[in-house]
Structure 1
Amino acid sequence: MQRHKQNFAAVILSAPTILVEGTTSFVVILESEQTFAVYEYLLESESLSPINGTTTSNLVVLGGLRPNTAYNISVRPISDLSGASVESDFSPVAQNNTALLSVQLSAQLLRETFLENYRDIRSSDSQDLISRVRDSFMALTTASGFPIVSVSGTAIRNGSVFLSVSCATTSTNISDATANVDTSSANSSVLADIQTITMLPTPPMNVSVTNVTSTTAMFTWESNEVESFEVEYTCENQQVTMTTTATSLDATALPPSSICVVRVRSVANVTTTAVATSMFTSPIFFTTLAVATTTTPPDTAATETVTTVETATVTMTDAPTVAPNATAGPTMGNATDAATATVGPVNVTMTDAPTAAPNATTGPTMVTMTDAPTAAPNVTAGPTMVTMTDAPTAAPNATTGATMGK
């Protein structure tokens, strides 16, 4: 097949993702995250005219297609989010077939006895019953002569057992969905009262998606035909189909951060013996949330730098006396009138250990006395704690008391 290409060499998108294949439509993700304002899509099939159009969404439903037909789908951007034109070739194609056309039938099953488990069409007893009569249904053909290629049960009625089924056919004509089936080849010992269901029930209305989390969502809808409903939802090409008699359904185990689509159809009485399914509702898109992450605060203790400063502890029996030839720096103290007091043992903490340097002039000395002697002549003061910021340098001929230090 010939594809229509544009001779551009700019941005080229990846192939689209076909999320759902319907009988006459595709649900397509043109781009996983919308980075353009307008897209052009192109559908091509053998012997059919190309179908193209534009959309402002990266999620689209492409309808009006032929059943049981192969299509190639490609996409290209037309303008970016600022509105500027974008020149690009079409993307690589995504290839898929539309779904088979289904014809809905009802028939009485002869020589069968109704079981309570038949009330659930998905029960093992129901599936065993359908298996026993499947070949008899597949021997039938539609009015256009196309064969039936698969059979799935819709409902089983009690009394004389009636089975409603959906029969897939290879016809590509949508009108054959309600064409009367040719029953001339029916096995009369198995099937009786075969009827084609031409009046289908009405699809549900007002489908909505709420309470979306990373892995769950709630679907709700409205309907006047409350027999049961078939809910089909698809995320990342994983399709789940569930049946319920309620007008809501909680979906679980959804993949996080995923584009999903849901559609619903009615399963309702159409005659006193037959049950049929409606067409599916239009698809509703939703996106599951990302998984929440917990951030662990950094371990500050592991990166903290600790600097240890060694100190020298010096115990003086008598306060140092300024020796000749040594010039003392200014001294600040908390002692009150210590001139006539005899100072007892003094504990001195030196940040820098004293260095022996002859004739060196000491810098300013800060002296803090924990117990300052009270001004009283000839009173001996108790032990005094002295902290020196800059330790005095030992000068020659300076008489010091006994000193203990590290």
Structure 2
Amino acid sequence: MKELFTLKQNLLIFLFLILLSTGFTTQQAADYRIYVAAGRVMIDDKTNPYADEDMVETEPDGIVTPHAQYRYAPIFGIALYPISLLPKQLYIFLWLFLNAFLLLKTLLLFRNFFPKLLESKKAFLGVCGISLIMCIRLIGQNFELGQTTIILVFLSFYSLYLSKQNKPILGGLMLSLAIITKIMPLVLMAYFVYRKDFKTPVYTIAWTVFFVFLPIIFVGYEYNNFLIQEWYGIINPMNKEYTLETKTGIYNLSAFIYAYFTEMPDQKISGNRSLASLSYEFAGTITNVVRGLFILFTLYFTKWNPFKSIDDYKQLFWEFGYISLAFPLIFPAQNKYSFYYMFPAIFYLSIYFYTQSKSLGSWKKIKPSILIPLALYFILTNLTSSNIIGKALYDQTQYFKIITFGAIALLIAYIQVKPSMLQPKATNKQ
């Protein structure tokens, strides 16, 4: 496809990304500072970043700052160590700029899956505008809290795109980078195998093994093995903390089902929300069954065609988009920012919204069964910020897991819009 923007327009976009990143530096990107601190703990102190008591950072200016527990692969924090030597505001800015840049690159990458639909600049910008508005709060959460989700979505979909471009080594590298950043994308290897791509998963495993043991060069064999064991202890899905999730602001299925079907109290907020009084053990069983159903529901999107390669990029995006949407629901310990994983589904539905609005003459003529869930998603996910509804009501939205309802509403719309319903404007008229 031809280039979208002129040199002048690219420079203006670059300037906007700088200003956007600068504006968010005042938020201090809290979790990113944890990653940086972990690098210092591992390189300078050789202590345990996976233990709360050891996550005490001595900054270059001599300030001693305690941090929350580190939960990522050793190589991730170690790779950030050189950045940690820079002034704090500068390394925070660089992280935010990376996220802003990759958000732009994600939109451009998504365009490659829909070359005919988004060939014109007007259509692409229209879809981007709708997508960003529909996901604005989740994007903002990732910037404010210094999260990795924007990076993970880009790397995951880039690995899919590269695999279809017959570049499995690079595709495996991208997926491996996502895995060593946060373990969740590991399950995407199963999708590649399902779609008869065996090379990308093999290279992913090779790259991941390489990155896991790469820190030996910097910290030694024994200490690296110790870090790997501690890391596994954190990410092990059988951990008790992932079974009973009482933390305020956690919205995945585990927290949702326990909230509504047991008498389990919230960590901070009191009230009455339970619809039933099931035992914790039975609720745990229900949670795992529902997780399994979400996983099996992938077959609805793949049309039960295992080990069959497909070249329809719209179909691939629809399938991968569902898996991405399901991530924050089925995995444990998922906060608001994790629901940025829904961005691919939002982009996909934005294409449908834009093309149908143009074809039908008004967005109001879109099928109510699609439009209403979309509206519910937007209201429940984006308009429940404390900046809009106030702290008291916001606390109640956390208590009642409102964002989870928003994700389910989005899924209801997403299910209905099959790839065959995405047509260029000219062929969409009757």
TM-score (norm 1): 0.21
Answer 1 or 2: which has greater helix percent: 2
User: Which fold has the larger relative contact order, with Cα–Cα distance below 8 Å and residues 6 or more apart in sequence?
Assistant: 2
User: Which has more strand, going by share of residues?
Assistant: 1
Compare CA radii of gyration and give the structure with the larger one.
Answer: 1
